[in-house]
Amino acid sequence: MPRLHLHLLSDSTGETLEMIAKAALAQFEETDIQRHFWPMVRSRQHLDRIVPDLAANPGLVLFTLVNAETRARLEEHCRTIGLPAVPVLDAVTEALETQLGQAAHGRPGRQHSMDDAYFKRVEAIHYTIAHDDGIAYEDWEDADIILAGVSRSSKTPTSIYLANRGYKVANIPLVVESPPPDLLFRLRRPMVVGLTTAPERLVQVRRNRLLTIADGQESTYVDAERVAEEVRFARRMFADNAWPVIDVTRRSIEETAAAVIKLYNEREAREIPPVVGPKPI
């Protein structure tokens, strides 16, 4: 199995760099990747302390450093050691500079500045945590998105992921014996999305869940026929209310969230009235 030391150097939190590395590594199978993560590298002194580890664990260096002096010093060190160093955002930044006709600001962590979008994201996270699993349904009209589905259909992790993207999300478990509050069917502002999954996959997920709680005894919670009926019950509700449905059986949380965002943006685009220009003379 190929082994690689992957060094990630960032002058900010490194979140962007980690996401890029994760997306690229997903294209490779059966590899042993040893990550070395170095966030907040903003001085020559900090960088110089990292160099011995680069030399001791040769591999690939990916970096997002906007300070010209710091990045030049890193590149010099990598040439001396004989390591490839890739500035992962350079191509995108240069293309934007060309298209926009202006130079990039070159300020570390600018994407994490405390602007309106930042505070909107914080508000969304607070709202989403406070409205998990059907809690505080009286405030659902304030949500952007409501996720509905049977137990263990990835509602909560998807909600949290969406909240980190700035969406206020509530979620509601659908239980055959306990109908959801009537308010769910009268909402005007939020978009309600149904999450469904294959019953056999749901049984497997629930069995794994039972192993981590209580004594893990079998129950109707993992009975195949019962689970299939739950899924059918939820699907009927989705169809009766014309809610869009996403099958999460083979989707990651990120993929499910992306599908929800696409549905939300499409709905927003339909509801924006067309711009009417002046009548021709």
Name the residue type at position 199.
P
Q: Is 179 left (phi over 0), alpha (psi -120 to 50) or beta?
A: beta
Taking the CA atoms of 190, 196, 254 and 207 in sequence, report the sign of the dihedral they define.
positive
Q: Which helix (H) or strand (E) holds 55?
A: helix 44-56
* Coil, strand or helix at 276: coil
152 is in an annotated binding site: yes
Q: Which helix (H) or strand (E) holds 145?
A: strand 145-149
219 is in an annotated binding site: no
Cα distance between residue 236 and residue 243, in whole Å: 10
156 is in an annotated binding site: yes
134 is in an annotated binding site: no
Q: Give the C-alpha distances (Å, rounded to integers) separating 121 from 112, 126, 139, 146, 183.
A: 11, 9, 18, 17, 26
113 is in an annotated binding site: no
CB of 137 closer than 8 Å to CB of 187: no
Of 79, 270, 268, 279, which is closest to residue 167 (Cα–Cα)? Answer: 268
155 is in an annotated binding site: yes
Cα distance between residue 203 and residue 1, in whole Å: 33
Extract the tokens encoding 245.
């449905």
Q: Which residue ranges are tagged as binding site?
A: 149-156
Q: Please state the residue numbers annotated as binding site for ADP.
A: 149-156
